[in-house]
Amino acid sequence: MNSAVADLITGFKRASFAAMLAGVAALVAMPQTASAQAYPNKPIRMIIPFAPGGGTDILGRIIAQKLGEAVGQQVVVENRPGAGGKIGTTLVAAAPGDGYTIMMVSSSHSVNAAIYKLDFDPVKDLAAVIQIAAVPTVLTASPNFPATNVQELVRLAKAKPGTLTFASSGEGSSPHLAGELLALLADAKMIHVPYKGGSPAMTDVMGGQVNLLFATVTQTASIIKSGKLKAIAISGTRRAKVLPDVPTFTESGLLGHEMSNWFGILAPGTTPKPLIAELNKQINALLSNPEVRAKLDAEGAEPVGGLADDFDKQIRSEIDKFKRIVSRANIKVE
């Protein structure tokens, strides 16, 4: 065999071997690509850990409908209420991390993690997907309450320690912790008056039986505008669109009172990051949709969006903050 023929055969073998390797690589890659393209290939379940009709349920159904339209699969809403949201959250924490179970939660998720002994790890067993929206919280008072701003309120609370009262929708609720945080930041003693729900608490504040109440702007904006409640300050980083004349606590000179009520999507903690990223991408796109934004705005909710990691950091930070409030205020909930 002459050298030219030998070189030709060697080259042919090398080419064949390279082609074979390329073919194997393609075969290996095909299932992964097909799998990625197939998601979702069946309905997605959205757990809402509260009863129908509340803010979490309303916003969850808005997102479920539009997400289903975007991905071409139905997003089925299941209400699993009970124990302040803990029943539904426990269910999701134990669900398979396959991208077919998600849940809509509110800021009570962080509060529960700070107060209660849970059957799951709220950080490790649940993965943050995206924050949907924020609803600013406003400190309100009865119309005849003598203080009209934060500085007057703080002076009054210090002048008469243990006489000012604040209502909440229940022991260990977000409004309860908001009131305790105010007392801590103001270095003043205030008396907590728990109610079985937000409506009776608001009624007694309007009537002057209790001095103060933290509630969302969704619940209170129309009542404030009617003059039945007095707005003192917004708890958040910026003023509320529906109450543009009400300053934030920071603007009023009391730093650190940021307790907006938020809503967001979580998934089981074992959900792969590529699936989390895909859900985050799809929902971020929805939050830019004018129709979705209009529906959220109608509920007094301001769209947020952003990265899953940012939402995860926020939840962790809030849990730590609420644990400090619970410890310093010596809150004990059975």
The pLDDT assigned to 27 comes to 42
CA distance 73 to 213: 42
**Percent of the chain's residues with pLDDT above 70:** 89
Residues paired with residue 168 on neighbouring β-strands, in sequence order: 194
Complete domains list, the chain, with CATH: 44-134+260-328 (3.40.190.150), 137-235 (3.40.190.10)
The owner of tokens 């209170």 is: 220
The pLDDT assigned to 197 comes to 82
The pLDDT assigned to 33 comes to 43
Q: Mean per-residue pLDDT for 90-105?
A: 97
Mean pLDDT, the chain, whole residue set:
88
Given a contact cutoff of 8 angstroms between Cβ atoms, the answer to whether 114 and 176 are in contact is no
Q: Mean per-residue pLDDT for 106-134?
A: 94
Q: Mean per-residue pLDDT for 50-73?
A: 93
Residue 79 has pLDDT above 90, yes or no: yes
CA distance 182 to 185: 5
- The pTM of this model reads 0.80
CA distance 4 to 36: 48
Q: Mean per-residue pLDDT for 301-307?
A: 95
Residue 65, number of CB atoms within 10 A of its CB: 16
CA distance 128 to 263: 11
pLDDT band at 219 (very low <50, low <70, confident <90, very high): confident
Q: Mean per-residue pLDDT for 62-86?
A: 95
Residue 134's contacts (CB-CB under 8 Å, 6 or more residues apart) are 236, 260, 261, 262, 263, 301, 302, 304
Residue 3, number of CB atoms within 10 A of its CB: 7
CA distance 24 to 210: 74
Three-class DSSP labels, the chain = CCHHHHHHHHHHHHHHHHHHHHHHHHHHHHHHHHHHHHCCCCCEEEEECCCCCCHHHHHHHHHHHHHHHHHCCCEEEEECCCHHHHHHHHHHHCCCCCCCEEEEEECHHHHHHHHCCCCCCCCCCEEEEEEEEEECEEEEECCCCCCCCHHHHHHHHHHCCCCCEEEECCCCCHHHHHHHHHHHHHCCCCEEEECCCHHHHHHHHHHCCCCEEEEEHHHHHHHHHHCCCEEEEEECCCCECCECCCCECCCCCCCCCCCCEEEEEEEECCCCHHHHHHHHHHHHHHCCCHHHHHHHHHCCCEECCCCHHHHHHHHHHHHHHHHHHHHHCCCCCC
pLDDT digits (tens, 9 = 90+) for 2-38: 554 444 444 544 545 444 444 444 444 444 443 445 8
Q: Mean per-residue pLDDT for 36-54?
A: 89
Q: Mean per-residue pLDDT for 214-222?
A: 89
Residue 167 has pLDDT above 60, yes or no: yes
Residue 109, number of CB atoms within 10 A of its CB: 25
Distances in Å between the Cα of 213 and the Cα atoms of 63, 123, 257, 277 are 30, 30, 14, 39
CA distance 331 to 202: 22
CA distance 107 to 111: 7
The pLDDT assigned to 242 comes to 87
Residue 150 tokens read as: 């934060």
Question: What strands lie across the sheet with 165-168, from one edge to the other?
Answer: 191-194, 165-168, 212-216, 137-141, 230-235
Q: Mean per-residue pLDDT for 209-220?
A: 92
pLDDT digits (tens, 9 = 90+) for 243-283: 999 999 999 999 999 888 899 999 999 999 999 999 999 99
Given a contact cutoff of 8 angstroms between Cβ atoms, the answer to whether 281 and 72 are in contact is no
